[in-house]
Amino acid sequence: MSNKKKTSVIKDEVMPAWVPKLRFPEFRETSGWQLIPLNRLAIRAKQKNRDEKIDRVLTNSAEFGVLDQRDFFDKDIATQGKLEGYFVVEIGSYVYNPRISSTAPVGPLSKNKIGTGVMSPLYTVFKFKDDRDEFYEHFFKTTGWHTYMRQASSTGARHDRMAISSQDFMAMPLPTPSLAEQQKIAECLSSVDELIAAQAREVDSLRTLKRGLMQQLFPREGETQPHLRFPEFQHTGEWERKTLKEIAKITSGTTPPRSNLEFFAHGTIPWVKTTDLNNGLIVETEEKITSKAKARINPADSVLIAMYGGFNQIGRTGLLSFPAATNQAISVLALDRKAALPTYVLAWLNAKVEDWRRIASSSRKDPNITSSDVAKFTIFLPGIDEQQRIADCLSSLETLIVAEIQKLEALKTHRKGLMQQLFPFSLEATV
């Protein structure tokens, strides 16, 4: 059956009712939901930006939804003199971006909540006839409409873009309960969204607090003492300036000589990659290496630094809580414990991630840091007791942050479970 036949069936035939897995008590005895084409519920926006009266250009991001192009790209992609053919997007309109990504496998579909602007004609813009449309705002965050999009799109499409006509897009079948049930579902999910947003703000607040605390607990550039010291250390003098090579033996995961047997794995041992580094303890890693592998086994309490693997990976750190092998993308620090504590060094390095990235991006074609960069990297050291006090303070705050992140993830998981129960997900039978 061709795409055209599929969409004509959708428009001309009566589609079956659908009963979701979970309904509120007052609706359990009511009839099932009807599947109604989008073109009966909404009107496609076709107004062009004549005379370029509107110069606010919007974009639809898979992660952040509809926002100002300048805010998203930090510059104007579309320029004056080219906006006449752009669609006017009123506040409350929905925008479909056909560009696909890992987070939006059929392209993002978002509601414009920031104000009137214009968008590229590559986007499909529509507005529901009834502005009480929060139910659909939540529905478009599910995968319940993805199957139709895949089946209605043309074959031979670009690998990064869905090829679907506006006519076929507007024929998309949408589950349509009564308005009362729509509003009940929307209120439920909106309340969960508010909890998630509040929890996300709590996490961001704690992270901001930690960043500010690190700026106070460590000396700033050009200084030898921090602005904030614990009372018992306020009169203990200046900190000592060292390079990492002066306080640690620095190695990497390169294969060692066969004659050095301590470097070979006996049995199965964890294998750590840059993606396992989380700026804290490495709790676990799924990959293992076998006894036949030639790999340097690093002891527990080794400090790890990602030297390459992508700009966002560079400078990420980890502290081994178990013996493990690493690949050559990771620099391993075996510290002189009389000079520096691993937890303190880890905290220092976490405060200096931007320094690593500046080094990586300076005069190099492929951003990375080298063993030489690691060796000459500067660290300031107080006495061991003060190092321990700083490390304990920041570690306790990080523990609190992790606990709040777990709460945030639990709320997101709860929301996902709710959406799977409240919305019909499989629409294959209707297309």
Q: Are 281 and 319 in contact (CB under 8 A)?
A: yes
The per-residue pLDDT for 326 is 87
Q: What's residue 413's pLDDT?
A: 95
pLDDT at 9 over 70: no
Q: Residue 26 — very low, low, confident or very high, per pLDDT cuts 50/70/90?
A: very high
Residue 429: predicted pLDDT: 35
Residue 374 has pLDDT above 60, yes or no: yes
The CATH architecture one would assign to domain 240-381 is: Alpha-Beta Complex (3.90)
Q: Burial letters for 130-151: b for 16+ Cβ neighbours within 10 Å, e otherwise?
A: eeebbbbbbbbbeebbebbbeb
Q: How confident is the model at residue 158 (pLDDT cuts 50, 70, 90)?
A: low
Lowest mean pLDDT among 124-133, 357-366, 390-399, 420-429: 420-429
pLDDT in tens, 407-420: 999 999 999 999 98
| pLDDT for residue 78 is more than 60 | no
Residue with tokens 């679907």: 164
Residue 350's nearest CA partner among 319, 384, 396, 310 is 319
What are the percentages of helix, strand and coil residues in the chain, rounded to 5? 35, 20, 45
How far apart are the C-alpha atoms of 53 and 329, rounded to whole Å? 52
What is the mean pLDDT of the segment spanning 38-59? 90
Contact 90, 112 (CB under 8 A): yes
pLDDT in tens, 219-252: 988 888 999 999 999 988 889 999 999 999 999 8
Res. 301: pLDDT tops 50: yes
> Is 262's pLDDT higher than 60?
no
More confident residue, 309 or 219: 219
pLDDT band at 14 (very low <50, low <70, confident <90, very high): very low
More confident position, 313 or 397? 397
Mean pLDDT, the chain, integer: 85
Q: How far apart are CA 383 and CA 236, in angstroms?
A: 9
DSSP state of 254: P
Query: Residue range 397-408: average pLDDT?
Result: 95
Q: Closest Cα partner for 30 from 138, 177, 207?
A: 177
* The predicted structure's pLDDT at residue 346: 95
For residue 281, what pLDDT is reported? Answer: 76
Please tell me the least confidently modeled range out of 82-86, 115-119, 129-133, 197-201.
82-86
What is the 3-class SS of 53-86, one letter each residue? Answer: CCCCEEEEECCCEEEEHHHHHCCCCCCCCCCCCC
Task: Evaluate whether 3-177 and 240-381 have a shared fold.
Answer: yes
Q: Is the separation of the CB atoms in 316 and 306 below 8 Å?
A: yes
The more confidently predicted of residues 13 and 420 is 420
> Using alpha carbons only, what angle is made at residue 257 by residues 254 and 260, rounded to the nearest 5 degrees?
115
Higher pLDDT, 2 or 197: 197
Q: Is the per-residue pLDDT at 3 higher than 50?
A: no
Domain ranges, ordered by start, for the chain = 3-177, 240-381
Give the list of residues 6+ apart from residue 337 with CB closer than 8 angstroms, or none: none
Q: Which CATH number fits domain 3-177: 1.10.286, 3.90.220, 3.90.25, 3.30.70?
A: 3.90.220
Give the model confidence (pLDDT) of 339-371 as tens digits.
999 999 999 999 988 888 888 877 566 678 889
Instruction: Pick the range with the lowest mean pLDDT from 7-11, 151-155, 311-315, 408-412.
Output: 7-11
pLDDT of residue 417: 92
Asked whether residue 269 carries a pLDDT value surpassing 80, the answer given is no
Q: What is the mean pLDDT of residues 271-299?
A: 74
Other CB atoms within 10 Å distance of the CB of residue 53: 10
| CA-CA-CA-CA dihedral for 232, 236, 238, 242, to nearest 10 | -90
